[in-house]
Structure 1
Amino acid sequence: MAQSKRETERKYAAPAADDIAWLPDLTGVDPVASLVDRGIEDLDAVYFDTADLRLARSSATLRRRTGGTDAGWHLKLPLEGDSREEIRVPLSEEVPDSLRDLVASRTRGAPLRPVVRLRTTRSVRDLVDTEGGTLAELSLDTVRADSLLGEDHHAVWTEMEVELGEEGDPALLDGIEKVLAKKGIDRAKSPSKLARALAETAPDQYGAPEAPPRVAPGSAGEHVCAYLREQARALVELDPAVRRGTPDAVHRMRVTCRRLRSALRSYRLVLDREATEPIRTELKWLAGELGAERDHEVLGDRLRTGLRELPGELVLGPVTARLTAWDAAQRAEARRRTLDALASPRYRELLERLHELTTRPPLRAKAARPPEKVMVKALTKEYDRLRRRMVPALELPPGSERDTAIHQARKAAKRLRYAAQAARPALGKPARRLGKRVKAVQKVSGDHHDGVVARDTLRRLAVAAHTAGESAFTWGLLHGQERASASAREEQLPVAWRRASRARPDRTYR
């Protein structure tokens, strides 16, 4: 069974591992009271990657390690700052399927193979407080790296790691680093042992980065391509969290799909439509598959909250039991759709296309133009599309036709918001203000749409309850509350729209 933990550490260049006379006294770093020697470990790790090192290039590592206290398979995924998530699986001969799945968005289906072997002699010391609690672990390592990529290359070096304990304060690492710096002990140049091993034993494979896209500096194309790379990277990095059911991961991946799809539509002046439309189609498919789980999550939370807030005397019949059964059945089916989508060849092909898009973007001639012209024109076009939908929607009387029109306007608001988000680094405060005000329109119309969906579900639950001989009173009451909430949102929407219209691009960027 896989185990996961957050690992926060810093690596330093060490003069030697067998003679520690150079190591400064760290007991002056509050709250370190002493260093406890834990002895020496011999570690043997084989790192796995694709032939073109796709894991290493995305700052992920997968290894099979023996020796020490944590023998097994270790997958490390990057987090912010000095932190990584380490996922451990018990030792086996082959790469565990669970870990193979978690790196699939990075490997894009390419086979995994051994790429380097690291044998480390590690001297370990615990940094403890006055009560004997472990604050951090200090390791002095002598490392030998041997390439497994067909070349008989090896490298040897020493280094020091300081890894924060589970309850340790990140400020402790800063205090330790100040003491080390005064003694001339600097951070290691490589972010990990694997990165250094590959740089020294396989410089041809690892040292040659993929050619960056040829985009004019400061141009609209540069800004659009940077945004696309950011979103494509986010999709890849969210994949493992979605597979493991991490809270909010499905929502974030779905939003990332929408951002990518919207950018490809909004900035057709920059990118060749013939090349990007197939990608937009596949992004729409993936967002739809993810949407089943995300939409149910939102709807389930909304219904449970509404029921929970009712006084007990208004809950008549087995309402909670029926809602729980409905939730379990719908949630299981939605989860299956998510996992099936991520396991499909169609998804792997999408990842390949996104990689191709971000490394060799199909730029049009206008991509070389200044963003003040190209991106403002794109924003204006998206604003006009939103206006053409929103104004008629607000003039309709309450009812299903108005509900549908508001929902369509909401989609246009999302596209404008994402276009403004992509333009923000280039256009600054006006794009940020536009995005913020359009987000308010999107939120009010989104709450309205969620209420429409909730009312439809409540009606079906009420019918099912009535058919089973149960009271439908509570379902009807919740339905009425949703209708009242929708009326309130319809009153708020014109106000939000007026504020957004005052930030319209053709006025702001004159």
Structure 2
Amino acid sequence: MLEIERYDTDDHRLAAAGVVLVFHQGTREGEQAQWRLDLAEGEGGEHLRVPLAADAGNPPAVPSELVALVRGIVRERALRPSGRIRRVRIETRLRDAGDRLFATVVHDHVTVATLGRSTDVESWTDVELRAAAADDELVTELEQRITESGLQKADTDAEAELDRLMRTASPPAREATPGKPGSAGAALVGYIAEHTDRLAAEDLRVRRGEPDAVHQMRVASRRVRSALQAFRRLLDREKIDPLVDELRELGQALAPARDAEVLRERISEGLRDLDPELRMGPVEQQVTRYFARREAEAGAAVLSTLDGDRYARLRTALDDLVRNPPFTERAPRPARKELPRLVARTARRLELAVKTALDPARPAEERDEAVHAARKAGKRLRYATEVAEPAVGKDAKRFAKTLKGFQTALGEHQDTVVARDALRELGALAHSGGVNGFSFGVLHGKDAERAARIEEDLPRLWKKAWTRRNRRWLS
């Protein structure tokens, strides 16, 4: 006998996310009971298996390592049995007159049921003939007799049937784009829904420690926050502003882990590119030690944030926003006309920030801060343009493309600012430890030179991007 028990929340959150958590318990000799976690198709259809612990209770508790992986999906909900597959198998071996095995008839009685608030049960008998010899005439006659008796191989498998039953028992899926089709509100909520789903997908990757997952999760949260800020006139401010604050807090919690990862890679690459005569002392080991503790602490802080009640409430609030957006009277207006007006407000914000950043009369430290402010304003404008692009078309697409070079330069400038702070600290630590910190000073000088070149080039890049032709769709 084989028994498979599906676990989920009472509102089937794992099923909605395309994730399957099951407990396999077979009674064949040598077959070990185990847990299996199937990730969504976007994760490559990967299966994670955990053997049943020797001290597991009855019924066994879900292994803590699997609970940790799906916590971002289930949040405050408990995992409990939500479906069951039971298969009782009888195998009949058929032998010829010489006692040679020529076929096996596999006779399965399968029962599939949902558990919880509602129960649906399906059962069937599945018969399969497995030929063991090449006597085609005899095998064909057996297949015909089995068919005539009304038995046949099932046209579905048990897990697929359980999936179907659980979809039927699940609450209805949210609308893809709430609001009037073609309206500004529908365009905004569709964008927010897309990146809320991306936030959920990256949550699982972060918990698994996958490369670049923290960065992608941070980008998803920033896109949602930027859209809410740029188009706040389409939604009730009293309900949206607290959500913006929570998304900002999440971004700040994710930032140290991502920044440490990027900074380590940047400095390590810079050291590798130095001429051998400029690499003095055990610089690679110093970089490894310096960042190991910071990355470990930042990673632990990220997981602590994702396991917290505040994050769970944020995810619930985002789901509620997408299902039932608090539209204002402007939301039903045509997206083609309303969205460009609101993007224009964000564009003016960037224009003012750039004016400050390009003012040569300001001290270098103030310009660094102003460039960083312009970078953030540029990102918000880019994401706002993404919301409008499906409705506006090629004008918005060209605008985003022409801004890319300027935005890339701003990002590189900020990287040099952050790297120089770390290089100063690395150099000071090397000196206090009695080793040579010269190489860090060389990299510091290179980054300072790079920052100065970018500042010199910013007016040209800005003039190229900020033409009247590129902005004609904003009104």
Q: TM-score range by the shorter chain?
A: 0.7 to 0.9
Q: Distance in 2 between matches of 1:467 and 1:306?
A: 22
* Cross-structure match for 2:39: 77
Q: CA 1:211–1:247 in structure 2 vs 1: closer, same or farther (change >3 Å)?
A: closer
1:275 to 230, 239, 244: 239
SS of the residue corresponding to residue 46 of structure 2 reads: strand
SS of the residue corresponding to residue 226 of structure 2 reads: helix
Match of 1:409, as an amino acid? Answer: A
Match of 1:47, as an amino acid? Answer: R
Aligned partners of 2:257 and 2:295 also within 8 Å: yes
Alignment of 1:163-182 (within 5 A): none
Give the count of matched residue pairs: 424
Q: Give the TM-score normalised by structure 1.
A: 0.77
Aligned partners of 1:430 and 1:503 also within 8 Å: no
Aligned partners of 2:113 and 2:122 also within 8 Å: yes
- Given the alignment of the two structures, is residue 118 of structure 1 paired with residue 118 of structure 2, yes or no? no
2:197 to 233, 250, 269: 233
Residue by residue over 1:233-284, the C-alpha shift from the partner in whole angstroms, topping out at 9 and shown as x without a partner, is 1111111110111001000000011001100000112111111111111111
Aligned partners of 1:75 and 1:87 also within 8 Å: yes
Q: CA 1:210–1:462 in structure 2 vs 1: closer, same or farther (change >3 Å)?
A: closer
Residue by residue over 1:48-98, the C-alpha shift from the partner in whole angstroms, topping out at 9 and shown as x without a partner, is 1111111112222111112387841111221249x5222222224111111
Q: CA 1:310–1:95 in structure 2 vs 1: closer, same or farther (change >3 Å)?
A: same
* Cross-structure match for 2:50: 89
Q: CA 1:210–1:263 in structure 2 vs 1: closer, same or farther (change >3 Å)?
A: closer
Aligned partners of 1:316 and 1:471 also within 8 Å: yes
Q: Distance in 1 between matches of 2:19 and 2:42?
A: 13
Q: Distance in 1 between matches of 2:411 and 2:218?
A: 15
Q: Distance in 1 between matches of 2:109 and 2:441?
A: 70
* Cross-structure match for 1:172: none
2:14 to 50, 55, 71: 55
Match of 1:54, as an amino acid? Answer: R
Aligned partners of 1:269 and 1:374 also within 8 Å: no
Larger mean CA deviation between 233-242 and 307-316 belongs to 307-316
SS of the residue corresponding to residue 194 of structure 2 reads: helix
Aligned partners of 1:261 and 1:283 also within 8 Å: yes
Please, what is the CA RMSD of the aligned residues? 2.9
Instruction: Give the CA deviation at 1:321.
Output: 2.1
Q: CA 1:456–1:150 in structure 2 vs 1: closer, same or farther (change >3 Å)?
A: closer
Aligned partners of 2:114 and 2:162 also within 8 Å: no
Q: Distance in 2 between matches of 1:481 and 1:152?
A: 68
* Cross-structure match for 1:32: none
Aligned partners of 1:437 and 1:496 also within 8 Å: no
- Given the alignment of the two structures, is residue 410 of structure 1 paired with residue 375 of structure 2, yes or no? yes
Alignment of 1:151-230 (within 5 A): 151=118, 153-156=120-123, 192-199=160-167, 203=168, 205-206=169-170, 208-210=172-174, 214-230=178-194
SS of the residue corresponding to residue 37 of structure 2 reads: strand
Aligned partners of 1:451 and 1:485 also within 8 Å: yes
Aligned partners of 2:234 and 2:327 also within 8 Å: yes
Instruction: Give the CA deviation at 1:211.
Output: 6.5
Instruction: Give the CA deviation at 1:505.
Output: 6.8
- Given the alignment of the two structures, is residue 476 of structure 1 paired with residue 444 of structure 2, yes or no? no
* Cross-structure match for 2:104: none
1:462 to 397, 402, 427: 427
Residue by residue over 1:112-167, the C-alpha shift from the partner in whole angstroms, topping out at 9 and shown as x without a partner, is 111110124799xxxxxxxxxxxxxxxx99742122225553113699xxxxxxxx
Q: Give the TM-score normalised by structure 2.
A: 0.82
Residue by residue over 1:21-70, the C-alpha shift from the partner in whole angstroms, topping out at 9 and shown as x without a partner, is xxxxxxxxxxxxxxxxxxxxx53211111111111122221111123878
Match of 2:448, as an amino acid? Answer: R
1:103 to 56, 70, 83: 70
**Identity %, equivalent residues:** 39
Instruction: Give the CA deviation at 1:390.
Output: 0.5
Q: Distance in 1 between matches of 2:109 and 2:329?
A: 54
Alignment of 1:40-439 (within 5 A): 43-67=2-26, 71-80=33-42, 83-92=44-53, 93-120=60-87, 143-149=110-116, 151=118, 153-156=120-123, 192-199=160-167, 203=168, 205-206=169-170, 208-210=172-174, 214-396=178-360, 399-439=364-404
Q: Distance in 2 between matches of 1:505 and 1:142?
A: 67
Instruction: Give the CA deviation at 1:433.
Output: 1.7
Q: CA 1:190–1:248 in structure 2 vs 1: closer, same or farther (change >3 Å)?
A: farther
* Cross-structure match for 1:15: none
Aligned partners of 1:413 and 1:439 also within 8 Å: no
Instruction: Give the CA deviation at 1:295.
Output: 0.4
Structure whose alpha-carbon radius of gyration is higher: 2
Instruction: Give the CA deviation at 1:337.
Output: 1.1
Q: Distance in 1 between matches of 2:157 and 2:318?
A: 31
